[in-house]
């Protein structure tokens, strides 16, 4: 069996990742694309993630459950730009199939129509079964998301980011703290017990003085 975090056991056809659980059944009942919506729901109970008519950048958006959950609450004027390297059908806003590494701040501003109030990052690499490698690849995605968030967020804006825990996670958390008034770490109940993920919610973006 693989020891990697967030990885299906090799050779297992029915893993804890594919077996429908309480959250999967709830997502289906509510017409949401995936159970991960309930991770965001938990974060939103503690933080002001729902911004009426807000502009949302949704990094690693596929299959679209975070945005679907938010769109039901953020009102008709809310604008969503979803980014994923894989195709994503029926996205609630504008979807661009594009790796984050190729996404420019100008493209984000063009599609959102202004600075983002909220940048969401739920990006995860295809896990390899090697915990350290998976961790480093995921941290690289989180770092790319932070770098972009610093260029597209409104002052006071919010950054939500998935992090695979491991050696470089504390340094990443510190780098987020440098730019936001508050940074909180959460492990939602909807996160699978085998997963090493946690989420940062960083609020009160403080841009560098020009
Ligand atoms: C856990 S899923 C996101 C689930 C999504 N938040 C939702 O609510 O449905 C992670 C996504 O990150 C995407 N991803 C991984 N590496 C990426 C990259 N370099 N650029 C853009 N998306 C990436 C994957 O394709 C995958 O769809």
For the chain of 210 residues, list the mean pLDDT of each consecutive stretch of 10: 37 53 93 96 98 96 98 95 97 98 98 98 92 95 98 98 98 98 97 95 93
Q: Whose CA is nearest to atom 11 of ligand 1?
A: 60
Say which of 28, 45, 52, 162 is annotated catalytic: 162
Catalytic (active site) residue 162: yes
- The ranges assigned to domains in the chain are 22-205
pLDDT at 165: 97
**3-state SS, residue 203:** strand
CA of 77 to the centre of ligand 1 (A): 25
pLDDT of residue 13: 43
**SS3 label, residue 141:** helix
Q: What pLDDT does 161 receive?
A: 99
Question: Which residue from 36, 81, 123, 198 has its CB within 8 A of the most atoms of ligand 1, so it is best to mutate?
Answer: 123
Topology of the domain covering 22-205:
Rossmann fold (3.40.50)
Cα 61 to averaged position of ligand 1 atoms, centre (Å)? 5
pTM for the whole structure: 0.93
Q: Looking at residue 86, what DSSP letter applies?
A: S
Using CA atoms, how far residue 164 sits from 104, 131, 192, 196, in Å, is 25, 10, 13, 5
Which residue out of 58, 124, 188 has the highest number of ligand 1 atoms within 8 Å of its CB and is therefore the one to mutate? 124
- Ligand 1 centroid from CA 209, angstroms: 32
């Amino acid at each position: 069996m693989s020891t990697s975090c967030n990885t299906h056991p090799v050779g297992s056809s029915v893993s804890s990742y594919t077996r429908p659980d309480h959250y999967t059944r709830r997502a289906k009942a509510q017409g949401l694309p995936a159970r991960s919506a309930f991770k965001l729901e938990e974060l939103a109970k503690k933080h002001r993630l729902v911004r009426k008519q807000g502009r949302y950048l949704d990094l690693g958006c596929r299959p679209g459950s975070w945005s679907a959950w938010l769109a039901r609450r953020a009102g008709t004027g809310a604008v969503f730009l979803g980014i994923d390297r894989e195709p994503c059908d029926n996205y609630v806003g504008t979807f661009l199939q594009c790796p984050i590494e190729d996404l420019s701040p100008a493209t984000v501003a063009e599609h959102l129509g202004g600075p983002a109030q909220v940048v969401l990052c739920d990006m995860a690499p295809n896990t390899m079964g090697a915990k350290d490698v998976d961790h480093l690849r995921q941290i690289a995605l989180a770092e790319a998301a932070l770098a972009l968030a610093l260029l597209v967020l409104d002052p006071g804006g919010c950054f939500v980011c998935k992090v695979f825990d491991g050696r470089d996670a504390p340094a990443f958390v510190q780098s987020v703290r440098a730019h936001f008034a508050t940074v909180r770490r959460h492990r939602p109940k909807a996160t699978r017990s085998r997963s090493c993920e946690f989420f940062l919610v960083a609020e009160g973006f403080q841009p560098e003085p020009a």
